[in-house]
Amino acid sequence: MKKNSKENSQTLCIHSGGEPDPVYGAVMPPIYQTSTFTFKSAEQGGRRFAGKEKGYIYTRLGNPTINALENAVASLECGKYALATSTGMSAVSTIFFALCSAGDHIVASSALYGATRVFLENELQRFGITTTFVDTSRKKEVEKAFQKNTKILYIETPTNPTLRISDIKWCADYAHKHKAILAVDNTFLSPILQKPLLLGADIVLHSVTKFLNGHSDVVGGIIVFNDEDLKEKVSKTLKHLGGTMDPHQAYLVFRGIKTLALRVLSAQENARKVAKFLKNHKAVQKVIYPEFEKDPEIKKVIKKQMNGPGALISFELKGGFEAGKKLLNSVKIMTLAVSLGGVESLIQHPASMTHSGVKREERIKAGITDGLVRLSVGCESFEDLSEDLKRALEKV
Ligand SMILES: Cc1ncc(COP(=O)(O)O)c(C=O)c1O
């Protein structure tokens, strides 16, 4: 079984992370819903605080249920360590606060998740950390953007919502050559379809709110590493900022991961058919989906680093945003909501919703046009989804 194969991931989803419960042999990890852990003696408490004895102290610093989730995701991403966080944005912000100081510089994909872009642009700048946003799928743009003080190359691939693909291996090599690190937000594909650490990335992060949990009932994040020093640095800052996960949240995500491969592959099968359906529909102007990529260089990258095109589709209608609004208001099975990666199909309008915080001029430059609609295809039956779209598109 190949380490990066879908089959291997399918087994890991079901078996990794949880050791059988040492007390009763429970198959699933118990939910250790406790804020604190008692010590057998004052001496033991002291030893644990001094790091001389292994064991739990306080849930912000570590908890067995959270550790079970961290182990599961680390092994799915082919990493050694993982840190679970309260939200995806906590994972994003903690990385920068842990690894950058005033005077440092970041190079990032221009079409990032809206809040990540706004965080880099507005919040980090107040601390003297600057970011240059470029289309990281174009190597020349990355080379041009790098400065002597660039500490992190931060990419989403595919980007949210324009589905631009960056070459992870090239980005990692280029960052390392310039003494920077590569961090990859792998939320859109999940480790079932892409494993950035195997391609040289130093950090992989997720909004586990999306595919990893998969049931639209939890928010959370996770950061995965191979390098212990890097993990220690981020862990220290995470404990100080306080954006750690809660045990119940961790249990739900751990449970969701059991079916991650099944869900992702089923949603992807639907997405392939929905993308074709949209491409052939007369009301549709343009469909963005990795399988339709025309650029031969990017096609090669897709083949090299992705196990499949994923379940996200962006498209534009001939009637622009007005037509898009009618579509959003007319679908019945698809849910009009932000977020993605749940078992249900979700449809939204990035310009007025997820990316409304990004300045219009920057948004358009990043390819997020006023009429773009983003669809996260779920696991319903394709016949029902296409019927829903057909009915709604007739009203456009
Ligand atoms: C690609 C990506 N990264 C990060 C986040 C932030 O995650 P959260 O909403 O869990 O804080 C999102 C949220 O939509 C996202 O789509």
23 pLDDT more than 90? no
Residue 152 pLDDT > 70, yes or no? yes
Q: Which domains are seen in the chain, by residue range?
A: 6-257 (3.40.640.10), 261-394 (3.90.1150.10)
Task: Flag whether pLDDT at 106 surpasses 60.
Answer: yes
Chain segment 78-96, per-residue pLDDT in tens: 999 999 999 999 999 999 9
**How many whole angstroms from 92 Cα to the centroid of ligand 1?**
9
**What was the pLDDT predicted at 4?**
60
293 lines ligand 1 (CB under 6 A): no
Q: What was the pLDDT predicted at 17?
A: 87
5 vs 157, higher pLDDT: 157
Q: What is the mean pLDDT of residues 195-216?
A: 98
The fraction of the chain above a pLDDT of 70, given in percent, is 98
- Burial status of residue 380 (CB atoms within 10 A of its CB: 0-12, 13-18, 19 or more): middle
pLDDT (tens digit per residue) in 345-396: 999 999 899 888 889 998 988 888 888 999 999 999 999 999 999 999 999 8
- Ligand 1 atom nearest to 208, measured from its CA: 10
**Mean per-residue pLDDT of the chain:** 95
Cα separation of 132 and 129, whole Å?
10
Catalytic residues: 60, 113, 185, 210
Closest CA to 112 of 369, 355, 361, 360: 355
* pLDDT, position 86: 98
Does ligand 1 lie within 6 Å of residue 187's CB atom? yes
Ligand 1 atom nearest residue 187's Cα: 1
Cβ proximity of 3 and 198 under 8 Å: yes
If you take atom 16 of ligand 1, which residue's CA is the nearest one? 113
Retrieve residue 380's tokens.
């319903």
Structure confidence at residue 8 (pLDDT)? 86
C-alpha span between 194 and 211 (Å, rounded): 13
Ligand 1 centroid from CA 354, angstroms: 10
- pLDDT at position 2, please? 56
- What is the CA(10)–ligand 1 centre distance, in A? 24
Q: How confident is the model at residue 69 (pLDDT cuts 50, 70, 90)?
A: very high
Per-residue pLDDT tens over the stretch 163-204: 999 999 999 999 999 999 999 999 999 999 999 999 999 999
| pLDDT number for residue 15 | 92
**Model-level pTM?**
0.96
Task: State yes or no: pLDDT of 1 exceeds 50.
Answer: no
* Ligand 1 site-directed mutation target among 123, 164, 209, most atoms within 8 Å of CB: 209
| Higher per-residue confidence, 177 vs 9 | 177
**Distance from the alpha carbon of residue 118 to the mean position of ligand 1, in angstroms:** 12
